[in-house]
Amino acid sequence: MESDTCNKKQIKTYMAGPMDDVSIDESRDWRDWLTEELGKLNIKTLNPITKYGEKYGSIRQRFSMWGKSGNIDAIRQIVSSQIIPADIVMVEECDFVTLYISPKGHEICGSYGEMTLGFYLGKPLYIVTKRSLKPLTIPKWAVGCSTKIFSNWKDYLDYIRKNWIDDGQE
């Protein structure tokens, strides 16, 4: 007889957040930390940085160069052929989307697409941000797509543990 744990599907979250106008370390650090923390709960993270492997660093350098020179065709080709399709597949595969919105006000252009797709597919969206909610300083579109907003990672992890691990899936 198989145990119940063998029959359980591994829970997955897609990690959305700023990448374009932040340093590679800033966009990677929270994702690496969260991957480790959620791994302890047996939750798999779908990480757009590691999806591209080591190529991502060189893509970012080329983006910067192309942005400065106004090479729209090169940017369009990479984003439309490599980045958007990979991100769409990860959002489709996940059980919920985790969106980090930096307190610094970075642009979250790709995250808008990812959160909207998640919303359309009925995936819960959990936002983690230290930005003020009164007055509201996060994008209203993100609020509209969100299921719950957390002001710190501890509360987020407690919620995930309680609602996805201890009591089963939402």
Structural domain includes residue 169: no
Give residue-wise pLDDT tens across range 50-74: 765 445 556 767 777 888 899 999 9
* pLDDT tens digit sequence for 111-131: 899 999 999 999 999 999 999
CATH number of the domain that residue 66 is part of: 3.40.50.450
- Residue 168, in any domain of the structure: no
Instruction: Examine residue 96 and state whether it is found in any structural domain, yes or no.
Output: yes
Domain count, the chain: 1
Q: Where are the beta strands (DSSP E) in the chain?
A: 11-16, 43-46, 96-101, 125-129, 148-150
Instruction: Look at residue 106 and tell me if it is in a domain.
Output: yes
* pLDDT at res. 154: 96
pLDDT at 7: 58
Give the model's pLDDT for residue 3: 45
Q: Are 77 and 63 in contact (CB under 8 A)?
A: no
Q: Which has more confidence, 167 or 98?
A: 98
Higher-pLDDT residue of 165 and 107 is 165
What's the pTM?
Answer: 0.85
Say if residue 132's pLDDT is above 50.
Answer: yes
Interatomic CA distance for residues 9 and 80, integer angstroms: 31
Residues with Cβ within 8 Å of residue 155, at least 6 apart in sequence? none
Q: What is the pLDDT of residue 121?
A: 98
Q: Which residue has the higher pLDDT, 152 or 168?
A: 152
| Rounded mean pLDDT, 140-147 | 96
Residue 84: give the domain boundaries: 11-163
Q: Is 1 a domain residue?
A: no
> For the chain, what is the mean pLDDT?
85
Phi and psi dihedrals of 132, rounded to 5?
-70, 140
Inside any domain, residue 67 = yes
pLDDT of residue 18: 75
Judge whether 6 lies within some domain: no
Is 95 among the domain residues? yes
* Chain segment 3-32, per-residue pLDDT in tens: 444 557 899 999 998 765 555 556 678 888
